[in-house]
Structures are given as structure tokens and as C-alpha cells.
Amino acid sequence: MKNIEFFLIILTTLIIFSQEQPYPVVLMHGIGANASTMNKVVEWIHELVGPDVYVKNVEIGNGYWDSMFNKMFDMVTDFCNQLKEDQELSKYPKINLIGYSQGSLITRGYVEYCNDPPVHNFITWSGPHEGVFGIPYVDWNWLDKLLREDCYIEEVQNSITFAQYWKDTLNYDVYLNKSIFLPYLNNEEKTKDPKIKQKIQSLNSFTLLMSTVDEVVNPKESAWFAFYDDKRENIIPYNQTLAYKEDWLGLRYLDENNRLNFYKTDCRHQDYPTDKCKDVFIEYTLPRLLN
């Protein structure tokens, strides 16, 4: 009997220790917002993944202001430094990462240029991965004029985040030569950076959510790495782009290995981190945080 009791104690101990703790989750908010907009997501993670899961809800500078008027690569660097210096994150071999809207680009920049600590599962919510080429529903006539006429001048590129992922397919060469952010992030330069591709390939999974009713990201399909053609008449699906066929980013590799996931939602762009879209979080994001 004592031997059986001892065996059961040992077995129970092994089971307990074999159960891996969920990886920490890092969040990055969108444009014109701050970390508080993601507070509801923090609550969901503690409720559904576990109360002890470490969640880092990142804000860069003055979130609302700096998310609009800043250099995107400076924000990527700040994000990298915050994660690198976080002593709690250093206790874990990997993290799970969620980027929302513009935060999807900052977080992808982290994966491509830093990835320390490394990302396990990467999830983006309506992120303008292929850029934007159209003004959101907001009634900012000055922004409309600025982006359509002066988007690629140095002063605008160095000060307005939105302009740094404005992708004018009617003047693609100008975009490629003058944009200071997106061509590098998407490895569109003539000389490709193999390290960028390797970092994306290292992901356990890359999950992309696109809203069918998105009024902010234009075109909404940019959230799936799809974009306008050179006449701005049709959307080229992600797997028909040259970037995919030549695998500049490593997306084709992930796709062929069943590690690239695409999901449609009916969440309005601004509703992702609210209770209106909690069911979407549970269906598409939660499984990645438990894996």
C-alpha cells in the first residue's frame, strides 16, 4: 500500500510539473490610442487563460500623441527595449504577441528586427500589413490633402506615422524610394534581408484577423497582406503577390507548413478590444494563447 501511495504521489508531481505555464502575453494598441484601450483584453486573458498569466500592455511615450506623430521605427525600437528590459519576461523562453491596428506593424517590427524574447504565437487584429491607400472615415480634410499630395516628402515621413505605411500603388517607385518604413518592414527593397524572413519563419503560428466592415484600414484586405493593383482597381490576394511567390517575408513558408491562419470577423475596427468583440477573441485569439 505504501508503495502505491508513493507511486501516486510521484505520478501526481510529474503531471503537475509537466503542465507548462502559459507564455506571457504582450499587447500593443493602435493609432490615436494608449495602453488603456487594451485593458479589457488584459481582463479577458486573466479570466480565460489564467489569473497568474503575465500580461504586458505596452505604451510608447504619450500613447495617444506619439502613436500619430512619431517615427515608426523609433516606436519599434522603444517596443524592443521595453520587452528586452522586462525582468518578468526574461523568466520565460517565449512570449505570445498581439498587435492591434497600427500596433500590428510595431509588433511585426519587433519580430523581424528584435525577437528577444522570441515570439511563439503572433496574432494581429486588422493590421495594415500591406499599408493603406485611402483615408479612414474620419473627417480630416487636412490629412486627406497631405497624404494624397505630400505624403512622401521628408518632413511628413519623419513626423506622421500614418504616412510611413501609405502605399501609393499608382506611384510605386516613389513609395519604394521615399517611404522610410513599410518597404523595409515588408522586405520590398531590391536587396532582401534574409534575417527578416528567418524571424518570421521562426513563429509557431501567425494569425491574421480581418474585419469585413473595417472603415479605418483601406483596403481592409491589407490585414491579410492583400492590396490594390497598380491601377487601384482590384485587390491582389496575398498568395498572388510577388512577395508571397518569392517569399520575401517567410509567409509562404508558414502557409505551406500550416502555421499561417486567416480569419474574417464582423468587428468594427475600433471594437476589437471591447466587449462587443469578446466572442471573436474567444474564437480566434484565445486558442493561440493556450497553445
Q: What is the DSSP string of 75-116?
A: HHHHHHHHHHT-TTGGGSS-EEEEEETTHHHHHHHHHHHT-S
* Active site (annotated) includes residue 67: no
pLDDT value at position 21? 84
pLDDT value at position 17? 38
Radius of gyration of the chain (CA): 20
The catalytic position among 205, 214, 222, 247 is: 214
Is the bond leading into 117 cis (omega within 30 degrees of zero)? yes
CA neighbor of 136 nearest in space, from 286, 270, 276: 270
What is the model's pTM? 0.91
pLDDT value at position 135? 73
State the Cα–Cα distance between residues 78 and 57, nearest whole angstrom.
14
Question: What contacts 121, CB < 8 A, 6 or more positions away?
Answer: 23, 96, 97, 203, 204, 205, 206, 207, 288, 289, 291
Instruction: Specify the fold of 25-290.
Output: Rossmann fold (3.40.50)
Residue by residue, DSSP assigns 39-79 as HHHHHHHHHHT-TT--EEEE--SSHHHHTTSS-HHHHHHHH
Residues 126, 277 contacting (CB under 8 angstroms): no
Is the bond leading into 24 cis (omega within 30 degrees of zero)? no
Give me 87's grid cell. Answer: 525582468
Segment holding 261, helix H or strand E:
strand 260-265
pLDDT value at position 137? 56
* Active site (annotated) includes residue 168: no
pLDDT value at position 136? 66
* Active site (annotated) includes residue 269: yes
Residues 218, 206 contacting (CB under 8 angstroms): no
State the Cα–Cα distance between residues 35 and 146, nearest whole angstrom.
28
CA neighbor of 27 nearest in space, from 18, 16, 36: 36
User: Bridge partners of 132?
Assistant: 166
pLDDT value at position 217? 96
Give me 94's grid cell. Answer: 517565449
The catalytic position among 29, 67, 101, 129 is: 101
pLDDT in tens, the chain (291 residues): 455 445 434 433 333 333 478 999 999 999 999 999 999 999 999 999 999 999 999 999 887 889 999 999 999 999 999 999 999 999 999 999 999 999 999 999 999 999 999 999 999 999 999 999 987 655 566 666 667 778 999 999 999 999 999 999 999 999 999 999 999 999 999 999 999 999 999 999 999 999 999 999 999 999 999 999 999 999 999 999 999 999 999 999 999 999 999 999 999 999 999 999 999 999 999 999 998
